[in-house]
Amino acid sequence: MFQSAHPADATTRAVLDLVDFLYGNWNRIVLSIAILILAFIVIRVLKSMVTQVGKDYRLPDSTVRLIITAVTYGTVILAFVNVLAVFNIQLYPLILSLGVLSAVVVLGSQLLISNVLGGAVVYVERPFVIGDIIKVGENIGVVQGINIRSTALKGLNGLDITIPNSTFLTTSITNYTKTRHYLVKVPFTMPIKVDLSGLAEAIKARAASIPGFAPDRGGELYKMGISKVDIQYELHFWISDPRKADEAKSRVIDIISQDLGHKGHYGLGGE
């Protein structure tokens, strides 16, 4: 019968093989340790930078954590690939193959990429911050949150609105908090014979009673259409807060109604 080798001999052989490996590859081991230490330092530095940027740009905590996680895993993977390369284990061909596959996936994820790019534009250019009142397309609301994929608004009607960040790449943004001016239009129709020459001045005279009225911009009256008996007017005035638009519009209508009277006349102008 065959006799197995003594356990002590096997252990001694393993130890000798390990010593030979360490002696023959000490320079590679030192280089690998240096790569890992460098990766650790890079991760610490990048984490600190991302955290500071998150504070400066008021990024959500979830976004900061996502970026830190991506940076950490990316650095670890890069360090691991380089350590294997030190021992002549090449993963770059595999990475290249994965890169081709990634390109295919990217082509199918253009909307996601557009949202991420739009989010990057918001973070870098800062056209608005949380708490600003903005208009994007037909949507007006207060910015509640800014994430990588989308931006959350609280609409003037109280509804929650989610705007994909890709929208900011192609759609203009109006920031009413920065401009402090929002145009309100009041359309109405009056008989041709009614004189409205002093209406705009009357609105300015009662500006204090109009919520958010911007006296520096004043008000303007425009003729928008005409028929055989009537003229269609549109009164334009500016307010500082679009959330007060309905209240301001209602007050202006009250002023017009009071000044015109039940007969449809303004001041002494008339029939």
Per residue in 193-238, pLDDT (tens digit) is: 887 777 777 787 887 888 888 777 767 888 899 988 889 989 888 8
| CB-CB contact of 260 with 203 (8 Å) | no
Question: Distance of alpha carbon 66 from its chain centroid, rounded?
Answer: 16
Structure tokens at 82: 């380089």
For residue 261, what pLDDT band results from cuts at 50, 70 and 90? Answer: low
What is the pLDDT, as a whole number, of residue 262?
41
Give the whole-number percent of the chain exceeding pLDDT 90. 8
Looking at the chain, how many residues does it have?
271
What is the pLDDT, as a whole number, of residue 21?
67
Mean pLDDT of all residues in 141-149? 87
For residue 142, what pLDDT band results from cuts at 50, 70 and 90? Answer: very high
pLDDT for residue 48 is more than 80: yes
| CB-CB contact of 138 with 171 (8 Å) | no
Nearest by Cα to 184 from 158, 157, 217 = 217
pLDDT for residue 141 is more than 50: yes
DSSP assignment of 145-214, as one string?
Answer: EE-SSEEEEEETTS-EEEEEGGGGGTS-EEEHHHH--EEEEEEEEEETT---TTHHHHHHHTGGGSTTB-
Structure tokens at 25: 């590859």
For the segment 85-115, what is each residue's pLDDT rounded down to a tens digit? 887 776 656 555 555 545 554 444 556 666 6
Mean pLDDT of all residues in 151-174? 88
What is the pLDDT, as a whole number, of residue 96?
59
Mean pLDDT over the full length of the chain: 78
Domains identified in the chain and CATH numbers: 11-107 (no CATH), 117-178 (2.30.30.60), 180-260 (3.30.70.100)
Mean pLDDT of all residues in 71-85? 84
Mean pLDDT of all residues in 111-133? 77
Residue scoring higher pLDDT (259 or 224): 224
The Cβ of residue 12 has, within 10 Å, a number of other Cβ atoms equal to 11
Structure tokens at 233: 């007017």
